[in-house]
Amino acid sequence: MAIREAVKIKFEKRADTGKGTCRKLRANGTVPAVFYGPEYKESIVGTVNAKDLSQVTDSPNWETSMIDLELPDGKVEMALLRSVDRHVVTQNILHVDLYQLVKGHKVKVAIPIRVINKDLCAGVKMGGVLEHPMRDVEIMVLPREIPSEIVIDTIKMPMGSEIFARDLDLPESAELISPQDSVVVMISRPRSLAEAPEEEEETAEVEVVGKGKRKEGEE
């Protein structure tokens, strides 16, 4: 579990809206943005510096990256990126939504799960198949305890082992929202290995039945 330091971004208020205005803003190195949250029922329209924003948006886990957002009046608010709109072709950022986090109030977030040491996994070396059906876990957590990701080391996982959502190493304040019995990672037996004992048993049974069908007089 990794918790990164918050990125500082300055939020400038803007009055003009419209496609033409937004194009000019992006050409000048800024990104149109909206800031809203529990204490900001009426969202604030503004801009953020594209270079500063890239510290978050270039991260593979931007949804969980904490931001210290400096507002025009000098107040600093904790925030998360809730949406990032990009150009279909160029992938340049067109617009972002920033959501206010309130100190002492938990927020619902989906935390990415990253699996490491897949090739070195004990169960995989024995011929098992590593499956990773759950890619993120939903939790309620205090803002400053939001992890950027949860890392699972599979190196010691034996054949047939499983890790469930309830087994994950979560922050102290976290409440698990995803079903506790959801399988995050498992090392399953290949079908060939799983069916082998049954095939052997079936063969042995045929041989026994065959021996029992001797004709009278045979030795």
pLDDT by residue (tens digit) across 139-151? 999 999 999 999 9
Distance between CA 198 and CA 17 in Å, rounded? 70
Q: Are residues 97 and 124 in the same domain?
A: no
Q: Which of 75, 102, 129 is the last residue in one of the domains? A: 102
pLDDT digits (tens, 9 = 90+) for 12-71: 988 666 666 677 777 788 999 999 999 998 899 999 999 999 999 998 889 999 999 999
Q: Are residues 156 and 177 in the same domain?
A: yes
Which range marks the domain in which residue 157 is found? Answer: 108-195
Show the tokens assigned to 108: 């619902």
Calculate the dihedral angle through the C-alpha atoms of 24, 14, 109, 153, rounding to the nearest 10 degrees.
50
On whether residue 170 sits in a domain, the answer given is yes
Question: What's the chain's average pLDDT?
Answer: 87
Q: What is the pLDDT of residue 195?
A: 58
Q: Are residues 97 and 25 in the same domain?
A: yes
Q: Are residues 119 and 98 in the same domain?
A: no
SS3 39: coil
| CATH code (residue 91) | 2.40.240.10
Q: Are residues 140 and 162 in the same domain?
A: yes
Judged against a pLDDT cut of 90, whether residue 3 lies above it is answered with no
Distance between CA 117 and CA 25 in Å, rounded? 44
pTM of the model: 0.76
Nearest to 140 by CA among 181, 98, 171, 115: 171
Structural domains in the chain (count): 2
Q: Are residues 94 and 71 in the same domain?
A: yes
Q: Which of 38, 67, 102 is the last residue in one of the domains? A: 102
